[in-house]
């Protein structure tokens, strides 16, 4: 059985917002890496993870997300997904990563 891991997407230093059911719109910068295992040429498990960088004044106020282990929505860099913080600055993706496409016609309207 031959296994390989393929990197499907890499987003680096993207501006975004982090929200949960209580707090909305915490500004962050994030890196996201999406990978997929390939077993004998057949796509298998997908895994996505990344890093967050908070503004200094916000950093202490997000400890609640890590301690509560509740999902949060990460939006920015053209994507939206649900994440779970696994540490103060790291996360794993828990859902499908949706692409947000804003077209010029939508902005003009």
Q: Which domain holds residue 37?
A: 3-104
Strand runs (DSSP E) across the chain, as ranges? Answer: 3-19, 26-39, 42-54, 72-76, 79-85, 90-93, 98-99
Position 109 in a domain: no
Per residue in 36-50, pLDDT (tens digit) is: 999 999 999 999 999
pLDDT, residue 90, reads: 92
Would you state the pLDDT for residue 60?
Answer: 62
Considering the domain boundaries, does residue 52 fall inside one?
Answer: yes
Q: Is the torsion defined by CA of 9, 81, 50, 102 positive or negative? A: positive
Residue 8 lies in a domain: yes
Give 54-99 pLDDT, tens digit per residue. 876 666 666 667 777 789 999 999 999 999 988 888 999 998 889 8
Domains identified in the chain, total number: 1
Cα separation, 32 vs 57, whole angstroms: 23
User: DSSP 3-state assignment of 57?
Assistant: helix
Give the closest residue to 1 by CA, choosing from 40, 37, 43.
Answer: 40
pTM: predicted TM-score of the whole model, two decimal places = 0.81
């Amino acid at each position: 059985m031959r296994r390989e891991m393929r990197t499907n997407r890499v987003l680096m230093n993207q501006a975004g917002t982090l929200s949960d059911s209580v707090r909305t719109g915490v500004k962050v910068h994030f890196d996201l890496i999406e990978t997929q295992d390939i077993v004998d040429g057949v796509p298998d498990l997908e895994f996505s993870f990344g890093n967050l960088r908070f503004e200094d004044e916000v950093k202490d106020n997000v400890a609640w997300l890590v301690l509560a282990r509740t999902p949060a929505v990460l939006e920015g860099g053209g994507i939206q997904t649900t994440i779970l913080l696994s540490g103060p600055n790291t996360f794993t993706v828990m859902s499908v990563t949706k692409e947000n496409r804003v077209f010029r016609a939508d902005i003009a309207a």
